[in-house]
């Protein structure tokens, strides 16, 4: 599904990613752990093709296409979707219209919003005055409407209360669910500090990023336990 090969990326003249290699197979869910400022968000933003993330070297292949220099909208059309850590407010754009624009693959906007008790937000401008948890739900609804083949999630749990964590977890599970009817297997790459998502989806692989490099890869539950017990630095020493 996704192959990242020796990816080096500059942001505002600063070298942030330093030779990332990452392979995500069809139907696989991967978790990305790492200290603050290690480059996780930069990787997701680069995969999605946002301006300001300059690929100096390396290649991104998605569904067999070399998308390294594709514009963001074409990557989305091919089946890449993202939920931002801090999404923008879209003044003048109603959530209802954005959901319709995203594709409506998972049914009409009303149906989708009602399933997560979010119908009262449909006629509000996207993210304007939304609470932290509401913003996360709105992001995931947009992704459910888009129905991507590879979903990139940047800290989907941040700012979400304990009860809503379950709702967020269910939404992510649905996003990554295998679509047997259509013979589709969806993939995901999830940045998480708390590991909450490991309770909701079966993650196939975990990665630890440090200083713009991936040092450690393996079973995500074991990696998360290791981080909790020994810290991130141990990952560099261990080099699993």
- Which residues contact ligand ATP (rule: CB under 6 A)? 11-12, 14, 16, 34, 36-42, 52, 85
Q: C-beta of 208: minimal distance to ligand ATP in Å?
A: 11
Which residue number, 149 or 155, has a Cβ lying nearer to ligand ATP? 155
Q: C-beta of 240: minimal distance to ligand ATP in Å?
A: 19
Which residue number, 52 or 132, has a Cβ lying nearer to ligand ATP? 52
Q: C-beta of 41: minimal distance to ligand ATP in Å?
A: 3
- Beta-carbon contacts of residue 69 (< 8 Å; ≥ 6 apart): 55
Which residue number, 14 or 120, has a Cβ lying nearer to ligand ATP? 14
Which residue number, 16 or 99, has a Cβ lying nearer to ligand ATP? 16
Indicate the helix (H) or strand (E) that contains 3: strand 2-11
**How many other β-carbons are positioned within 10 Å of the β-carbon of residue 214?**
22
Q: C-beta of 156: minimal distance to ligand ATP in Å?
A: 13
- Residue count of the chain: 240
Beta bridge pairs of residue 206: 31, 218
Look at residue 68 and give its three-state secondary structure.
coil
Q: Cα separation of 192 and 40, whole Å?
A: 10
* DSSP secondary structure code for residue 91 in this structure: E
């Amino acid at each position: 599904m996704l192959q990242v090969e020796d990816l080096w990326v500059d942001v505002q003249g600063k070298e942030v990613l330093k030779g990332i290699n990452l392979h995500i197979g069809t139907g696989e869910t991967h978790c990305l752990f790492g200290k603050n400022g290690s480059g996780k968000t930069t990787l997701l933003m680069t995969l999605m093709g946002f301006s300001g993330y300059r690929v100096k070297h390396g290649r991104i292949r998605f569904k067999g296409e070399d998308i390294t220099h594709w514009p963001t909208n074409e990557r989305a059309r091919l089946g890449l979707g993202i939920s931002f850590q801090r999404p923008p407010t879209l003044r003048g754009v109603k959530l209802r219209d954005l959901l319709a624009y995203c594709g409506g693959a998972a049914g009409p906007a009303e149906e989708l919003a009602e399933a997560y008790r979010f119908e009262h937000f449909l006629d509000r401008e996207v993210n304007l005055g939304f609470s932290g948890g509401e913003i996360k739900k709105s992001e995931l609804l947009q992704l459910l409407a888009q129905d991507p083949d590879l979903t990139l999630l940047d800290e989907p749990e941040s700012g979400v209360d304990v009860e809503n964590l379950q709702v967020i977890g269910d939404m992510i599970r649905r996003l990554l669910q295998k679509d047997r009817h259509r013979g589709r297997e969806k993939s995901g790459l999830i940045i998480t500090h708390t590991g909450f998502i490991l309770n909701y989806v079966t993650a196939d692989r975990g990665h630890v990023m440090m200083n713009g490099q991936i040092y450690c890869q393996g079973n995500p539950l074991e990696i998360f336990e290791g981080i909790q017990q020994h810290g991130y630095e141990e990952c560099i020493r261990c080099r699993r």
